[in-house]
Amino acid sequence: MAPALAFSRPANLTIITPFVMASLIDGKQIAQDIRGRIHSEINAIQAVSSEFNPSLVIIQVGARPDSSTYVKMKLNAAKEANISCELVSLPETTSQHELLSRISKLNAEPAVHGILVQLPLPAHIAEDKVTAAVSKEKDVDGFGPFNVGELNRRNGEPLYLPCTPKGIMELLAHAKVELNGANAVVLGRSDIVGAPVARLLQMANATVTVLHSKTQNIAQYVSTADVVVSAIGQAGFVQGSWLKPGCVVIDVGTNFVEDATKKSGSRMVGDVDFESAVKVASQVTPVPGGVGPMTVAMLLENVVIAAKRQHDASKHPKKFTNPLPLNLQTPVPSDFEISRDQEPKHITDVASEAGILDSELEPFGAYKAKVNLNLLDRLGNKRNGKYILVTGITPTPLGEGKSTTTVGLAQALGAHLHKNVFANVRQPSMGPTFGIKGGAAGGGYSQVIPMDEFNMHVTGDIHAISMANNLLAAAIDTRIFHENTQKDAALYKRLVPAKKGVRTFAKCFLNRLQKLGINKTEPNDLTEEEISRFVRLDIDPETITWRRVVDCNDRFLRGVTIGEAATEKGMTRSTGFDISVASECMAILALANSLEDMRDRLGRMVIGSSRAGVPVTCEDIGCAGALTALLKDAIKPNIMQTLEGTPVFVHAGPFANISIGASSILADKMALKLAGTSLDLSEEEAKEHEGYVVTEAGFDFTMGGERFINIKCRSSGLVPDVVVIVATVRALKVHGGGPEVKAGAPLAAEYTQENVELLRAGCSNLAKHISNAKQYGLPVVVAINQMSSDSASEHEVIREESLKAGADAAIVSNHWEEGGKGAVDLANGVIAASQQPKDFKFLYETSGSVEDRIATIAKEMYGAGAVEFSEIAQQKIATYTAQGFGNLPICIAKTQYSLSHDAALKGVPSGFTFPIRDVRASIGAGYLYALAAEIQTIPGLPTHCGFMNVEVNAEGEIDGLF
């Protein structure tokens, strides 16, 4: 209903009128035809895409009779058009906050394509706040600020036109009214009808005059109009005597006047005096039966547009067409200078370009955000994009550029080949950031930016991991203390307290009861024996493996004694700290497939054993729910961008020595869906439109790649399409017998001058990694990471040796100096390899003995001749097997600087005896890890630390990072 603007009726203007009656523009029939067309269109799409189901939700606050009538019309029309339509009826007392919360939930619901809030709303609710709350993708009423703003902007592109103005334009089109150059008068300037219809008429090249309650000589203006649109809410205001003969009249008014002949006592009339108007105008819309039905039809059409837009977007990713330009300089400046020199996109733009909805994005400032897991539900019917795994050869302490290659390859695929692409990288720990190694943002002109935000906290996930880990550590020692100082009855009373006279078991305790085989849910029903079994974990302090963590290199926390305060009554024990990323909580964050999966895994974490040898879990202690609460936001992947504006998921960062050393499964799954294509597309169409996800595994292929496939892929169900092995001339010369390379020390002449013989000898290490990768039945591309001291002859040697070893391609990439431009050849090689057939297989099955699986990895991947298990390792394996953990994948912790366990053995050592000194369990994460050497799980700081260079300048910017 158009609002009344209290127009004052002007003096009557008499004109000569023809005696031909105007024809009616039958909005009811036109709307019915449109609904029929919509129904047919939906049926046609559903014939090939059964999941296509346009859906509208109408929210009505209160029960105004007129609003209820309009809502009923919309519900009936939607049903007729084969559109799912749900009415959410809320009481008039609903608060603005409650209404906005309901809209927010609907915004995030992927099955809902359109949201309409029935107006008017109760006086205590601000309509502008409500219409603005509906996401622009679902604003099918066209009243939100985005769509209104775009409509009124020159060359604007609103997603939806407001329904009544759109319906008016549709009526004029059906009536074949020529608007180009016509004079149009619009009575009323409301945001709902008057203003937007005036704008649409202008866009159709009509000359438009808008009249309002303060306009003088209204009749005179009307008398010159070829088209009159009245939306003022005053019955019979416009007289036929004002009209220009042959004009077209669109009556938007819906007014009720008394009529004793009607059962209701009233009848609906428009703003135009119909009886006099039809004697002058050439065409007139009736009331009712004119604009009203068209408003509903246009609403349904907007819903279908929304559904088709989402459906089309889900078929294939948009091509990446908005790269950031690089200002390449020679010599290449520091990483930090390059990062600061680039102006990043706002993260909302990065996400939108990647296909992430506003409702799925949770910004943290301007350049980073979290992405809601609901995205996986929305895109669940898509096939995945191509999955590219970046690994390397056995590195030097300087690193060979896996992260830089990951980012450079993504930049090449997106910014230069216009593919939809994601780079997925780990979140860096502040241990190496403030220590010596530096962050993991890439380098040169292939970086994640802003690199200071990347290396400092990101969105705080690692801090959440630290809190969760340390809460469990505190709970373990507290439980031992209370069991040692209380009897069963007192323990039970405090563990299951009465609240308002009622005792109930928490969820975690129900799980423990089930584990104990106690099939009772009423606390008062347990026997004394059952109570004792329930409350007594009887943890053996000597078996506790759970340690506290801190995200900092601090060697003096490797061994500590806790419980020294007098209040702890002498209950001291020796323990230590790990770095936060070594926590099993971090491994679980990386390997979980959903929030529910993370909750289950956290509950399964084993922290030690009882004195009877029974494993004690986080669930037994009652901590799993709280840990999940601490990590409920951390499980959402973080999105950032590269120097060239392509999207990056930054999520999780398990300690690479004792875990998978890769980003999260959830980040990979999200990226693969965003880069994927619809199942409705043919194989050829999918190939044309598919995108790429470039993800990195820690260390070399033999460590990081092996774990990625045998542990991470087992959990995710995903399989890489290509393995990229990063090699450098420098590292291969080391494996050919070159001098030792040390961080911070000058390179020997062998590494700065051409030496083909030394290089060719070292290529045996590369050949071993290629051979190892080929065992999994996957295509392999060698990325030769170019450095300034390399020669073309040396690159050719690597290419020859790579192809001889079975690689599908070996390609030089200069992404460090040139960004994505320097990696285009590599990107094309990866695309070609990704189309090759795969014959994927795991290295081992999880059946059989733990010793056999360890031996398979050591012999097949490392080249060992035999495996030697220490006495403690044998005891641990026997214990884990007896406890039911003997069928898990294996992670072997060893040096990353050799294929063997000895960092001094370069090249391809073989026939050595591989020593296993200990075996530990990460039951929640889902693997056992064997220690082949002394691996420190909390590094120490060097003499000159990275933090010594870090300052904050007068503008509040961080200086001194890398």
Q: Which residues are catalytic?
A: 74, 118, 141
Q: What is the largest CA-CA distance in the chain?
A: 113
What is residue 657's DSSP assignment? T
DSSP 274-301: HHHHTTT-SEE--SSSSHHHHHHHHHHH
Q: Which residue has the tokens 């994009």?
A: 385
Q: What span, in angstroms and rounded, lies between the C-alpha atoms of 734 and 765?
A: 10
| Among the listed residues 184, 190, 188, the one whose alpha carbon sits nearest the alpha carbon of residue 162 | 190
- Alpha helices (H) along 517-617: 528-535, 584-591, 595-604
Is residue 638 classed as helix, strand or coil in its secondary structure? strand
- For residues 534 and 492, the answer to whether their CB atoms sit within 8 Å is yes
Helix (H, G, I), strand (E, B) or coil at 251: strand
What's CA 36's distance to the chain center, in Å? Answer: 38
Q: 103: how many CB neighbours lie within 10 A of its CB?
A: 22
Separation in Å, CA 636 to CA 101, 348, 360, 594:
21, 16, 10, 10
What whole-number distance in Å separates Cα of residue 128 and Cα of residue 126?
Answer: 6
What is the distance between the alpha carbons of residues 732 and 795, in angstroms, rounded to a whole number? 11
Q: Which stretches of 71-131 are assigned E, i.e. beta strand? A: 84-90, 114-117
First-residue to last-residue Cα distance in the chain: 63
In 222-353, at which residue ranges do the beta strands (DSSP E only) sit? 227-230, 248-251, 255-258, 266-269, 283-284
CA distance 922 to 547: 13
Of the candidates 873, 949, 952, 879, the residue with the CA atom closest to the CA atom of residue 914: 873
- Do residues 187 and 271 make contact, with C-beta atoms less than 8 angstroms apart? yes
3 state SS of 347: helix
Contact predicate 77/124, CB 8 Å: no
Cα(675)–Cα(375) distance, integer angstroms: 13
**Distance between CA atoms of residues 206 and 225, nearest Å:** 11
The DSSP 8-state label assigned to residue 819 in this structure reads G
Element (H, E) at 218: helix 218-222
Q: How far is CA 389 from the centre of its chain?
A: 19
Find out whether 825 and 812 touch, Cβ atoms under 8 Å.
Answer: yes
Do 678 and 455 touch, CB atoms closer than 8 A?
A: no
Q: Which of 870, 881, 884 is nearest to 930 (CA)?
A: 870
d(CA 48, CA 44): 7
Give the span between the Cα atoms of 791 and 755, in whole angstroms: 9
Are 364 and 427 spatial neighbours (Cβ–Cβ below 8 Å)? Answer: no
Q: Taking a C-beta distance cutoff of 8 angstroms, is the pair 596, 631 a contact? A: no
How far is the C-alpha of 694 from the C-alpha of 422, rounded, in Å? Answer: 6
Task: Could you list the beta-strand ranges (E) of 546-658.
Answer: 548-550, 560-562, 573-575, 577-579, 606-609, 615-617, 638-642, 647-650
* 3-class DSSP assignment, residue 727: strand
Backbone angles phi, psi at 531, to 5 degrees: -60, -45
The answer to whether the CB of 233 falls within 8 A of the CB of 4 is: yes
Q: Show the tokens assigned to 916.
A: 């296993």
